[in-house]
């Protein structure tokens, strides 16, 4: 086993210890969604490990992570400090957790996020920091008990700059916006197609 692989495994193991998932080493390391580039962790898949909490210091020192997959766990909250070190974060998948509490400042340091999947959680109030995600193209909020009584004024300008069909009807309705959809493809299909295009473009750029 190479020294590089040993170091990568040690890093993954350290992460798993912090989230109290000691038996997930192989599933995380060998996941197609976990990637290293030039010795840096750039994509992490900690999905389906029974994780209940993302500690505040989980990502300290891991500033190169661009993609975070943490779906199908039992995470119940997102604290403002947790994602703050991930200044290059672009893609976040938290689908299928129990997230009910999200601090307003949770995404304040993550201005590069273009894909945010919060489907199937227990979110009633969206964090205001979403309004600062200027690169956000895809926001998925299905199956959340979103409150229509929340003040969404912070998001009006942010939302008007984007194609409404990319966003959740519940969110649009709460903001008093007209829902428009692309009928030829579902929202998910459109989003996944766009994601594949982005990834293909990045691979091409890296190979040149």
pTM: 0.79
CATH value at residue 188: 3.80.10.10
Mean pLDDT of the residues in the chain? 81
Check whether 35 has a pLDDT greater than 50.
yes
Residues 49-95: pLDDT tens digits? 999 999 999 999 999 999 999 999 999 999 999 999 999 999 999 99
Q: pLDDT category, 122, cuts 50, 70, 90?
A: very high
Nearest to 96 by CA among 144, 158, 55: 144
CB 80 within 8 A of CB 54: no
Residue predicted with more confidence, 138 or 101: 101
From residue 42, give the alpha-carbon distance in Å to each of 6, 48, 175, 186, 192: 17, 19, 35, 29, 20
Residue 140's DSSP bridge partners are 117
Over its C-alpha atoms, the chain yields an Rg (Å, rounded) of 17
Please report the pLDDT score of residue 20 as a whole number.
Answer: 94
Mean of the pLDDT values across residues 35-41? 94
Residues 141-176: pLDDT tens digits? 888 887 766 666 655 555 544 443 345 555 555 554
Please report the pLDDT score of residue 141 as a whole number.
Answer: 81
Angstrom distance (rounded) from CA 44 to CA 73: 14
* Residue 165, domain extent: 3-207
Please report the pLDDT score of residue 179 as a whole number.
Answer: 36
Strand, coil or helix: 45: strand
Residues 128-143: pLDDT tens digits? 888 888 888 788 888 8
Query: Domain count of the chain?
Result: 1
| Four-point Cα dihedral 84, 120, 152, 53, nearest 10 | -30
CB 130 within 8 A of CB 136: yes
Please report the pLDDT score of residue 56 as a whole number.
Answer: 95
């Amino acid at each position: 086993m190479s020294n590089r692989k040993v170091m990568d495994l040690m890093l993954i193991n350290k992460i798993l210890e912090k989230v109290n998932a000691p038996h997930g080493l192989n599933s995380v390391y060998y996941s197609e969604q976990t990637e290293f580039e030039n010795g840096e962790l750039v994509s992490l898949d900690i999905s389906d490990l029974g994780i209940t909490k993302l500690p505040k210091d989980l990502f300290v020192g891991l500033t190169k992570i661009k993609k975070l997959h943490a779906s199908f766990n039992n995470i119940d909250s997102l604290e403002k400090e947790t994602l703050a070190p991930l200044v290059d974060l672009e893609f976040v998948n938290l689908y299928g957790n129990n997230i009910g509490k999200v601090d307003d400042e949770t995404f304040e340091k993550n201005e590069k996020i273009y894909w945010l999947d919060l489907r199937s959680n227990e979110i009633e109030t969206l964090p205001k920091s979403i309004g600062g995600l200027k690169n956000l193209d895809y926001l998925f909020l299905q199956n959340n008990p979103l409150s229509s009584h929340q003040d969404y004024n912070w998001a009006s300008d942010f939302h008007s700059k984007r194609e409404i069909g990319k966003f959740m009807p519940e969110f649009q309705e709460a903001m008093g916006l007209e829902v428009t959809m692309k009928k030829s493809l579902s929202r998910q299909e459109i989003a996944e197609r766009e994601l594949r295009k982005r990834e293909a473009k990045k691979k091409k750029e890296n190979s040149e």
